[in-house]
Structure 1
Amino acid sequence: MSNPKVEHIEDFTAHEWCNKLLSDPTITHISKRHIPDTRNPVSNTFFTRTLFTDDAIRAFLSLYRPGRGQYRDVNEDEIFTGEGPIHEALVPSNHEAEVQRQNAKEEKTYDTSAPDAPEAIILVSLGNDVDGGVRRLHGGVTATLLDQVMGTLLSYSYENMSSTAELNVKYKKAVTTPCILLCRAKVRKEKGRWIETVGSVEDGQGTVFAEGWGAFVLSKLESKI
């Protein structure tokens, strides 16, 4: 019998900068990983099963800051907001308007430096089972984290699944493990179902380890008929 999966949230709450982020009222959604089982399988088993160990990704939290003046009531006793989307999507919820957007040819660009731009954030606590060199995070894991936070952003902002079309990573500094990392992503451009994003992997205190650019294709809408 396998050991139960445990999110070591204490890895985050031991750090002041993490607590400040988790108590930020502009972040409206904070959730743990879904734990898959035979009765309730979930996607992304790479994060929810393979890397979910005490020595790989020890803890993982997904956060969303929708911007546009939206806030949540901060409860010091409970930081998690549940699984329901608590934000105004970049796109209209009306199905007909959504179809029109996905079929549109017009290209839209977004200012990723704007303080009110929607942003996805991932906090991860990493052990030594994801190393490349000795106590050095594998570069492929860094790229995977960028891909994950960008895809998470699209699931929040567009309430839709997506597939990675392109991913470019610029490595700026080696990551020493074990560590706590902060991953960010914002939407840069949109044209129909084609979405471009930018992201970074940081230490939460000003050091940027990697920056990335990604292009994703939103899933086609299911027929309502």
Structure 2
Amino acid sequence: MPDLHHDLDLPWCRELLSQPGLVDVEETAKTFPDGSVSNSMFHKTLYRNDAIKAHLMFRRPCTEPDSVRSTEECLLMAVGRDVDGMSGRAHGGFNSLILDQMLGACAHNSMPNKIPPATATMTVDYKAPISTPCVVLARAWVTEVTGRKVWLRGILQDGDGKVMASGKALFITARPASL
């Protein structure tokens, strides 16, 4: 794992990142000839000092009983106040956005394809508010694969393991003719 950003340099983060079997997942943004950037919501809007101040993506062994893969995708992030809906509390849409991003990344990494999969449906259950600023962990894992359909589950949790939001989703991968 790379050196930790000071916002992620917390005992629970260091313990999490010292677990065996973690693999760093490098996020890449593609810039197109017209100047647009793939996944610009994150790479241009959210990855900045007062929104998602620091983040690390990694893959680790999955212990969830409903997982059909041996690994899960994780995103550790330091969250600032510019994602607030109410002062000091992350907007509920932020929770959904992070879950959609992680579930989609997990679907894509479990069935690699030039074209990322698309969200067909997603349900989010809000369990507790995310107080900002803070550090949270997003996790996602595959629960079923049938043809081009990938079902997944994910959660947002704090350093004590308290779940703030959980989600389940169906993603559809691109048709082979689209490649």
Q: TM-score range by the shorter chain?
A: 0.7 to 0.9
Name the SS of the counterpart of 1:34 in structure 2.
coil
Quickly say closer, same or farther: Cα 1:196–1:15, change in 2 above 3 A.
Answer: same
Name the SS of the counterpart of 1:147 in structure 2.
helix
Counterpart of 1:145, as a letter, is I
Counterpart CA distance in 2 for 1:17 and 1:41 is 37
Counterpart of 2:120, as a letter, is A
Quickly say closer, same or farther: Cα 1:204–1:30, change in 2 above 3 A.
Answer: farther
- Normalising by structure 1, we get a TM-score of 0.69
Counterpart CA distance in 2 for 1:223 and 1:139 is 34
**What does residue range 65-214 of structure 1 map to in structure 2 within 5 Å?**
65=60, 111-112=65-66, 117-160=70-113, 161-214=116-169
Name the SS of the counterpart of 2:85 in structure 1.
coil
Q: CA RMSD in A?
A: 2.6
Counterpart CA distance in 1 for 2:11 and 2:142 is 28
Kindly name which structure, 1 or 2, has the bigger radius of gyration based on alpha carbons: 1
Q: After TM superposition, where is structure 1 displaced by more than 4 Å over at least 4 residues in a row?
A: 35-42
Counterpart of 1:9, as a letter, is H
Name the SS of the counterpart of 1:129 in structure 2.
helix
Name the SS of the counterpart of 1:20 in structure 2.
helix
Counterpart CA distance in 2 for 1:136 and 1:191 is 38
Aligned counterpart in structure 1 of residue 44 of structure 2, from 43, 49, 54: 49
Hey, which of these two has a bigger chunk of strand by percent? 2
**What does residue range 11-50 of structure 1 map to in structure 2 within 5 Å?**
11-12=7-8, 14-31=9-26, 33-34=27-28, 42-50=37-45
Name the SS of the counterpart of 1:200 in structure 2.
strand
Name the SS of the counterpart of 2:89 in structure 1.
coil
Counterpart CA distance in 1 for 2:158 and 2:30 is 29
- Normalising by structure 2, we get a TM-score of 0.85
Q: How many residues align?
A: 173
Quickly say closer, same or farther: Cα 1:111–1:190, change in 2 above 3 A.
Answer: farther
Counterpart CA distance in 2 for 1:204 and 1:158 is 30
Percentage identity across aligned positions?
35
What per-residue deviation string (whole Å, max 9, x for no partner) do you get for residues 101-130 of structure 1? xxxxxxxxx94268x732111111111111
The gaps in structure 1 that reach 5 residues or longer are: 1-7, 69-109
